[in-house]
Each structure stands twice: as C-alpha cells, then as structure tokens.
Chain A
Amino acid sequence: MSTHDTPTERPTQRQPVKFYQTGTFTVGNRLLPENVRSVQADMRRTNSLNSGHRACQGCGEALGARYAIDAAMQATRNQLIAVNATGCLEVFSTPYPETSWQIPWIHSLFGNAAAVASGVAAAMRVKGHSDVRVVAQGGDGGTTDIGFGCLSGMFERNDDVLYLCYDNEAYMNTGVQRSSATPPGARTATTPAVGRQPGNEFGTGKNVPAIAMAHRIPYVATASVANLRDLEQKVTTAMAIRGARYIHIHVPCPLGWGSAPADTIRIARLAVESGLFPLYEAHDGQVTARTPIRRRVPVDDYLKLQKRFAHLFANEAGKERIALVQAVADRNIAEFGLLAGDDAHG
C-alpha cells in the first residue's frame, strides 16, 4: 500500500517563508520548493478518506480527518493503522460493506477507541513491527464523554498512540445533542434556546487538551481545519514522538451549527482569530508554542454566522451573554499570549 516510494522529508518546524504572494497561507504555492509545500498540495497525497463518503456538504470533520491522516501517513511512510470511535466519522465513512478508508482501519465501540488503539500498538510491538504506528480518532462525544476513561488510561500508561479528537462540539450523528465540548450559549437538541438562560449553560464543559497536559504525556496540541500548515506540522511533530500523544482539532459542522456549508473554513478561521479556539502545542505538559492571531476579530463575527447562536442576537439579554463569550476569548488571548508577534507567518 505504498503510494509514496520516496517520501520527502518534511520539516517539523514551521517554515520561515519569504514573501511569496500568499506565503504559506494557501494549501500550495507554485513559488515554493516542493518539499516545503503542504501534504495536501501533493498530487500523490494518500487521500486516506476517499470520495463517496456520506458526510454532509461542507463537512469539517471529513476535511480534518483527511488532513490529519494524510499527514500521519506521510510521516510514517504509510505504515499506519487507524482505530475509530463511533460517531459521524465512523458512520459516514463505512456503511457496510463500503469503506472510504484507504488505510487499515478498525472500529469497535463508542467508548473504547483509545483502549483498542493501545491494544493494536501492543500487538504491533509484540509482532516486532516497530515501524507500524497507530492513531485513534473520534469525535468530541466519543472522546470527551464516552471514551474519556479509556483515553485517560491510554495517557496514563503512555501507550504509543496518537489520539485525534475531531471536535464539532456536540453529538452530531445522533441529532445534535449536547456534549461536554459544547460551548456555552450554543443551542443543541438537549439545550434548546428557550427560557431565561437559553442554550448551553455557562460554566459547564471540559477542557480535554488541558486534562491531557495534566497527564504529562509527551505531546498535546490543538489545531484547526482553518490552518492546514499548522495542523500538518503538529501531526508530523506528533508522529516523530513515541508515547501517548493528543491532538484536538476544531471542525465546524454545518448541520449542527446551522451554518452555510461553504462557510466551514471561514467559521473555523473566525474561531481562531477571535481567540475562542486557541492554537498551541505542549511538550511534557508545558505549553511550548502558540500560533498567534493574525487579524483579531470580535466573537460576534464568529457567532453570527451560526444559527445555534442566533438567540444571542435576538434581544438585550443575549448581548450580555455575548459579552461573556467575548470574555472567554479575551482570557484565552491573555493566557496564551496569542497577540504576541507575528513571527510564525511570513
């Protein structure tokens, strides 16, 4: 299954790119040498998640999964096995007997992806296939709620698995129910926009990247489908490390968020640029790098494109709640120093 006979070495550090019309903001750039273009720009990319999958129009998760797995495939010279939790990604990619996956792929249960992946990694070790690497992947429901015990165990044992969480902030597959990753104020099927405090309760939720860091595992990062270069660099970095690793990827869901399919990347970008979804990486529990905001925007720009937040714009009470969301963004910006410098781009 080798499509890359001679894989090019990709640097794990962000490339300082000279002023080339679009720099590295676009997927490719004809003015850059091939080895510093993104994996996705490559005509021979793996397309690990192939066409014909049944994800909705403009699905952020389908995009995020291909970005991450293609990068991991490149980094491991295609010696990769993927374990999948139950969720949209599993359902839309593998209706029996079809599969969209062009890599060895296994699904067991909703909550045990991390445990199954630990087992696959152990099996590979026992069989002497030290070059075969394992990723586990799931949505926010399968990761932050149902699979959380298994995930914590995988972290604590420092099993050699990269866990990828595609965070679309609710249980989309079953009809948009709230998860512990649903942001405050968001309307879901189980947090309707009714009553005096419409939408998801403020002060709830779980910060899984921070919990992963608290396990002192070798590598934790956050990423977004709006920043492909950053995402690929993080996956590549993760695959160069042995032990438990975790990457939390923000993936908009047009259906669940009530946004236009064409706006998927735009919305993900606004989440990053507003400060609501900070991009950073941590080694051994310490934050070591953050991706600065390029053009800061108020959270309104992000919220108003999504029907799940429409009630915040309906009345005066909503304004106060938007101010609370803005406070979250401001705190992230201050905590991670997201406005400092612009040296990651060029």
Chain B
Amino acid sequence: MDKPFAITLDVGSSLANRTGSWRTSRPLYVDRLPPCNHACPAGENIQQWLYHAESGDYEAAWHALVENNPLPAIMGRVCYHPCEGACNRGRLDEAVGINSVERFLGDEALKRGWQFKRPAALSGKRVLVVGAGPSGLSAAYHLRRLGHAVKIVEAGPLAGGMMRFGIPKYRLPRDVLDGEVARILDMGVELELNRKVTDIRQTMRDEGFAAAFLAVGAHIAKRAYIPAGEAARMLDAVAVLRDMEGADQPMLGRRVVVYGGGNTALDVARTAKRLGATEAIIVYRRTREKMPAHDFEVEEALQEGVLIKWLSTIKNMADEGTLTVEKMALDDKGFPQPTGEFETLEADSLVLALGQDVDLSLLDNVPGLVIKDGVVQVGPDMMTGFPGLFAGGDMVPSERTVTVAVGHGKKAARHIDAWLRGTKYAPPPKHEIATYDHLNAWYYADAPKTVRPVLDLVRRQSTFDEVVSGLDETNALFEARRCLSCGNCFECDNCYGVCPDNAVIKLGPGKRFEFNYDYCKGCGICVSECPCGAITMVPETI
C-alpha cells in the first residue's frame, strides 16, 4: 500500500461501468427503401446513384444506375419520372430533379464513352429476344451481363421500337437512341434486323435457343368506324409517327384533327404543329381530368398552340374535309353520353390515336398461352403459359411506358437466368419505405436565395425539350446534392456527435457506424436526430 493519505483505491476509469445494462430498447442501423426507388418502374436504385453523383463521381453514379437500367440518356428524356412524384423533398420545397440528373449522367456516358461491365462468366446458353424495343433491349442487356449468349430479332429496319417509331425526335434525338443501343450491342449482343419471327417455337428449335423473351410491342393502330367520303384523308397515329422516321414526311395539311386522348394523340398533334400545320386540334370524348395523357405533356402541347376539344366525338368526315362532331356530357358514373348537339370542324386530315393492339401472330402454334384483352398473360416471373417462353413490354398487361418496358426486361432476364439454371429467382425482401415522417428535416439545408434561379433553370431544363440543353456539371451536382438520402445513411456523423455516452463508433469513410452496446443507455437521441431515418429503436429482449 504505497498510496497518499486517505486514498485506498487506485484511480479507475468509468469504462468499468457498463451503462449499457440500463437499456430497455436499443438503436439499430437500418436501410429503408427510399420512395423514389419504390416508385421506379425500372427498379433503379436512385438514391444510390445520386449518392455517387453528390460527390462528383459521375462514372460511379452511372455504373450504379446501369446496374438496373441500361438506357439512362433515353430515360432522362422520355421517362415520366414517377420517382419525382414520390420524392420526399417535394414536402420540403420541390422534388429533386432526378430525371434531369439521369439525363446528365446518360449524356456524360455517351460523351466520354463509358462502357458496360462485361459478363463475369459465360453460361453457354442461348436466349432469343424478339423485338428491339426498350423491353427487348433491357432483357438482352441483363441476360448478357448474366453471361448468356443473346440474339435479338427485330422486324423493323432499325432498333429502338416505339422509342424510334413512336416517340418524336423533339423528345428523343436519334443520336442518343443510337448511342445507347450501340453500347448494348457492343457487349456482344447479336441483332438481326428486318426479320419477322412468324413461328416462335420453330425459330427456337431451329436455332437452338434455350429460352425466349418476347417483346414485340403494340404497333397495330386501333380503328373506330367513322363514315367518310372517299377523298377524306384519314390516317392512324402509329403510321404518322413511323413515317416521321422515313425519308418522306407525312402530308397532314394545314388543318389537322387528332382523335384520342393519350400521349400518342399529343405527340401527333405536336408533330403536326412542327410540320407546319396552322391548326392542330385534339378531339377527345371526355374531360381533361379523365385524359390518360400526362399532365405536363398536355401543358406543353397547349403552350405550343395545340387546341383541345373536350367532350366531343367524331361522327363522320365528308370529302371536303368537314368533320361532324357531337358534343358529349358525362353521366353520373363519369361516362360520356351523346347529347344530340352537333357542330362541324374543317380538317385537311384526321389522325386516329385511339390506342394500339399487339400483333400476336407469332404465337399461333404455342400451347398453354392465355391471351386476354388482346395481350399475353404472364406470371409474376414474366413467363407465359408455355415453359421457357417469357414476355414483357406493351404485349403484356401493363402501363405502356418505356420505363415499365425496361423494368419488364430486367425482371424477365433474372427469371430467365434462374430458369436456365434450374432454380427460382427470389427477389431480395423489400425494406420498409422511408416515408417523410421518418426524416428529421431540420438538418437539410434550404435552397438559399442565390441558388433559386439555378433551381428554376433546372426545372425548365427537365422538360425534354431538346431546344434547351441538359444540365451542365455545376447544376447537375447541385441538383444531386438536394437528395435527402431517405432511409439510407449518408455519413453525416450526427449519431456519432449527438450521443451523450460516446456509444457510437465511427468506422471511417464509407464504412458507416456501429453502436457500442456496452455503454449505449438507449436514450434514442441518435434516432431522433438522424436526418434520413436510418436508425430505429427496438425493445430489448429479456
């Protein structure tokens, strides 16, 4: 005992006192599903690629993006971005301009020649993809990455499907489309053009394909019976948009009437305006609220001078180009009913945009298929009733958009891969959604006044209008940094800083944090002060 007077014990550290035993509930790090990811029909991990873009590593961001979607430059122009509708930032100020950042990344990749990762190992299996539209291209890309030999057979003269023959150039420039298609082919995907598959089983047998993915799209225009004089010029929208790709542009005249209320009707009316029509009038039988076309497309069309006649049907078209239009009224159930009131419209041509049907002739000899409402029924694994035959895109029941088609291609590719390996693809369990109430929005910086003009500019630029160029690096970086990283730790150090007991261990850049349960008292401050909702409290088991 060599101690000073009245001292009987050695100096000890409070580390001997394991305050973790006080705890009745413990904090846990979690990853929640950001609403943008949840809303994306192509299953993109948006929050993750924005995370890379935030630090200016655009190549890493692009690689993270193309894990799920091989067509970012196209997406950044034609996707209807349901992600932005779901974005939690919309509750703070305005949604993150995800679509415009995606376009920036896609364009950067084309400009800098970034290439896809090659398959790690080849499977030796051959897969046939019928149709080189978004769904077929997506499936081919994912199958190739999984190591399969892929051949796309396309009936048309060029790849792209509706992206080329349905979407006007002012929304999707063709060099962008060509660039992204070429990059998929560069992976070693074979493409045969101008060949229509007439008997799918025969083709598979003859050429030794172990599985096939059908994505022939819906290219047959629906007709409506409208009595018309012999000299009346009546066209269908699919043909008009397809002819735009040819050498001779369609002759529509000065006064063009488009019949229908979908996005295609708007595309045709806007195209007609660009071809020099003085009048482009859309006739639609219901109201604006009931119109299937997307709101912003309607808005843009109206800005461009397209006129829309609501609650109207076309009864007939006389030789001189006079249309008889009947006024409609919505009944109690919201269905349009004729009123017996007529008026006339002068038109040089009438374009029918009443929807499209699928050409199912290649499936004539396939047993076990279920076809309902003119489309092929598939299971949750995208397989048709015939084993080994998968289908997606516009030819299966779905919302007919490019993004949905891309999502089908990815999903089908994963199931085809499992099927070829004799297993079953089980998607990883989905995390709980990171809703706004999981966030502590206090911590997110407001867009200061000086950056408001930039923000407004970003909004304007995300309108797909090729007259306006895309984001440059500064505003793309700015836009990416507006991401709240909902539900996923972005290493802000808040938990590490706010713990009164130093019970959070910082593991270093990119490695996140862990709790030191020896000392964590379970106060829950870390949970309250986590900006992005990446920590949860769970009761301790006794």
Interface, chain A (partner B; CB < 8 A):
19-23, 25-31, 37-38, 40-41, 43, 47, 49-55, 57-60, 62-63, 66, 93, 96-100, 228, 254, 260-266, 269, 295, 342, 345-346
Give the residue name and chain of the B residue nearest to A92 (CB).
Answer: B14
Min distance, Cβ B56 to any Cβ of chain A, angstroms: 9
Q: Could you list which residues of chain B lie within 8 angstroms of chain A, going by C-beta atoms?
A: 9-19, 22, 54-55, 442-445, 447-448, 451, 478, 481-485, 490-494, 496-503, 506, 508-509, 516, 518-519, 521-525, 527-529, 531
Bound: A25/B444 CA distance, A = 7
Q: A30-B509, A51-B19, A96-B9 are in contact. List 16 more A-B contacts (CB 8 A).
A: A21-B54, A26-B493, A26-B497, A28-B493, A41-B496, A47-B502, A49-B502, A52-B18, A52-B19, A53-B501, A55-B500, A55-B501, A58-B525, A59-B500, A63-B525, A264-B523
Residues of A contacting B527 with CB < 8 Å? 262
User: In the complex the two chains form, is A30's CB within 8 Å of B55's CB?
Assistant: yes
Given contact pairs A50-B502, A265-B528, A98 touches B17 in the complex (Cβ within 8 A) = yes
**B521 touching A57 by the CB < 8 A rule?**
yes
Q: Is the CB of B524 within 8 A of A99?
A: no
Contact B528 A21 (CB under 8 A): no
Contact A52 B519 (CB under 8 A): yes
Given contacts A20-B481, A22-B445, A266-B528, contact A51 B492 (CB under 8 A): no
Residue of A nearest to B497 (CB): A27
Q: CA A93 – CA B447 in complex, angstroms?
A: 42
Are A19 and B19 in contact, CB atoms less than 8 angstroms apart?
Answer: no
Contact B14 A93 (CB under 8 A): yes
Nearest B-chain residue to A342, judged by Cβ:
B448
Closest residue on chain B to residue A26 by CB atoms: B492
A346 to B450, CA, bound (A): 10
Contact B15 A51 (CB under 8 A): yes
Chain A nearest CB: distance from B305 CB in Å?
38
Which single member of A30, A58, A59, A346 contacts B445 (CB below 8 Å)?
A346
Residue of B nearest to A40 (CB): B497
Q: Which 7 A-B pairs have the closest CB atoms?
A: A28-B493, A27-B497, A262-B524, A52-B14, A58-B523, A23-B445, A26-B492
Chain B residues, Cβ within 8 Å of A58: 500, 521, 523-525
CB-CB under 8 A from B22, the residues of chain A are 57
Q: Are A22 and B444 in contact (CB under 8 A)?
A: yes
Interchain CB contact under 8 A, B16 and A98? yes
How near does chain A come to B532, taking the closest CB pair, in angstroms? 9
Which residues of chain A come closer than 8 Å to B503, judged between CB atoms?
A: 51
Q: List 22 A-B contacts (CB under 8 A).
A: A22-B445, A25-B444, A26-B493, A40-B496, A51-B14, A51-B501, A51-B503, A52-B14, A53-B17, A54-B19, A57-B22, A93-B14, A97-B9, A98-B16, A98-B17, A99-B14, A262-B523, A262-B527, A262-B528, A264-B500, A264-B525, A266-B529
In the complex, what residues of A have CB within 8 A of residue B442's CB?
25, 269, 295
From B516, B523, B531, residue with most partner A Cβ within 10 Å = B523
- Partner of A25 from the list B443, B478, B485, B518 (CB cut-off 8 Å) is B443
Nearest A residue (CB) for B445: A23
Contact between chains at A97 and B10 (CB < 8 Å): yes
Q: How far is the CA of A29 from the CA of B492 in the complex (A)?
A: 5
Which of A59, A93, A99, A269 is close to B11, meaning CB atoms less than 8 Å apart? A99
Contacts known (A21-B445, A58-B524); A98 close to B12, Cβ less than 8 A: yes
In whole angstroms, what is the CA distance A21 to B53 when docked?
A: 12
Set A19, A41, A47, A97: member contacting B448, Cβ < 8 A: A19
A59: B residues at CB distance < 8 A = 500, 523
Which B residues are CB-close (under 8 A) to A98? 12-14, 16-17
Residues of A contacting B497 with CB < 8 Å?
26-28, 38, 40-41, 228
Residue of B nearest to A264 (CB): B525
**CB pair B19 A27 closer than 8 Å:** no
Residue of A nearest to B510 (CB): A30
Which chain A residue shows the least CB distance to B481? A21
Residues of A within 8 A of B491 (CB): 28, 30
The reply to whether A21 and B498 form a contact with Cβ atoms under 8 Å apart is no
Q: Are B14 and A53 in contact (CB under 8 A)?
A: yes
Closest residue on chain B to residue A251 by CB atoms: B500
Chain A residues within 8 Å of B484, by CB: 21
**Residues of A contacting B54 in the complex (Cβ-Cβ under 8 angstroms):** 21, 31
- The answer to whether A63 and B492 touch across the interface, beta carbons within 8 angstroms, is no
B12 and A97 contacting across the interface, CB-CB below 8 Å = yes
In the assembled complex, the Cα of A31 lies from the Cα of B50 at a distance in Å of 13
Residue of A whose beta carbon sits closest to that of B10: A97
Please indicate the chain A residues that have their CB under 8 angstroms from the CB of B528 in the complex: 262-263, 265-266
B523 and A261 within 8 A (CB)? yes
Q: Name the B residues within 8 Å of A20 (CB-CB).
A: 445, 481
Contact B490 A30 (CB under 8 A): yes
Asked whether, in the complex, the Cβ of A27 is within 8 Å of the Cβ of B500, the reply is no
Contacts of B483 in A (CB 8 A): 21
Look across to chain B and name the residue whose beta carbon is closest to the beta carbon of A260.
B524
The verdict on A22 contacting B531 (CB below 8 Å), with A51-B502, A98-B12, A98-B14 known, is: yes
